[in-house]
Amino acid sequence: MGLNRQKIILGSVFLGLPLAWLTFFVVFPILLVVYLSFTSYDILGSPKWIGLLNYEDLLDDDVFWTAVLNTAYYTIVTVPVGMALSLLLALFINRRLPGVGFFRTVYYAPVVAPLVTTALVWMLFYSETTGLFNYLLALLGFAPKQWLSSSTWAMPSVIVMSIWKGLGFNMVIFLAGLQSIPRELYEAASLDGAGSTSSFRYITLPLLAPSTVYVTITSIIASFQVFSQVFVMTGGGPNNSTTTIVHQIYRTAFVHLEVGYASAMALALFVILVAVSMVNLRLVARKEIYG
């Protein structure tokens, strides 16, 4: 009886601590955001229940819908381009080449670099007067660009930096998927006369599907939550051309002190992410992959 009681106590401790952490830092904040989204709350006073008024205002908020469109634009570009480039890098370093370990380190290095630091360095590259990119354009005979102060170039500039920053992480996922594919399949395909293109199409891509699904979903979620590079590099400007959903939530909550309204935006973002993830699973995932 004493031994059973000891097991119950130990089990309660090891299970209770993670559950307490999950409840306090995950479940409670989510429930608090849901509650605050139905209130008018400015941090300085007490929340006042206003029902669906925040959501009604959200439907007519031009800045919020501009942020939604900007975030969708950012996602539509960064996710497929980043995945394609990451797969190409994974295919390259998956070969037995001299110095391949060095290339793996170089390609993964941006992932471990702090995002804010990386954004500051890229701001130097984008400088209109002393930046590397305008210097290269001048060498080629082109006029300098206002990379971060132009409504036309600001979002593409942020996108390029973000793609470069995330290549290494997705590359590692694809590399793990490539190394799990049996070599015998490629040898059998070669004996049947299949070329490299056919092997890639009928062996590599189908067997990489689980990795592709994972990378797609995590990339979409990350792109919808983009904030740091926008905050550091452009501040959402110029003229809200780089304002994203999370950046607008930040401005609404901590600049304008409209925490209730910001909570409604956060809940709307959650619904968008769930819907996009579900659609992605329906389109990309296949039952035969996991069954």
- Our count of domains for the chain comes to 1
In a domain, 96, yes or no: yes
Rounded Cα gap, residues 13 and 25, in angstroms: 18
More confident residue, 191 or 228: 228
- The pLDDT confidence band at residue 3, using thresholds 50, 70 and 90, is low
Looking at per-residue pLDDT, the higher value among 97 and 113 belongs to: 113
pLDDT at 167 exceeding the cut of 50? yes
* CATH number, domain containing residue 255: 1.10.3720.10
Q: Is residue 68 part of a domain?
A: yes
Residue 230 placed within a domain: yes
Inform me whether the pLDDT recorded for 291 exceeds 70.
no
12 in a domain, yes or no? no
pLDDT in tens, 104-123: 888 888 999 999 999 999 99
pLDDT computed for residue 289 by the predictor: 45
Residue 245 φ then ψ, to 5°: -60, -50
Phi, psi of 48 (to 5 degrees): -115, 125
Structural domain includes residue 263: yes
State the pLDDT confidence band at 290, using cuts at 50, 70 and 90.
very low
Query: Please, what is the Cα angle at 279 between 278 and 285, to 5 degrees?
Result: 85
Contacts 24+ apart (CB under 8 A), 230-237: 230/158, 232/116, 232/119, 232/120, 232/123, 233/119, 233/122, 233/123, 233/126, 233/148, 233/157, 233/158, 233/161, 234/148, 234/154, 234/158, 237/149, 237/154
Q: What would the two tokens of residue 38 be?
A: 């139905």
Average pLDDT over residues 144-169: 94
Residue 225 domain-assigned? yes
195-211 mean pLDDT: 87
Percent of the chain scoring above 90 in pLDDT: 60
Domain of residue 275: give its range. 54-290
Of the listed ranges 46-60, 85-99, 237-251, the least confidently predicted one is 85-99
Residue 23 lies inside a defined structural domain of this protein = no
Q: Identify whether 41 is part of a domain.
A: no
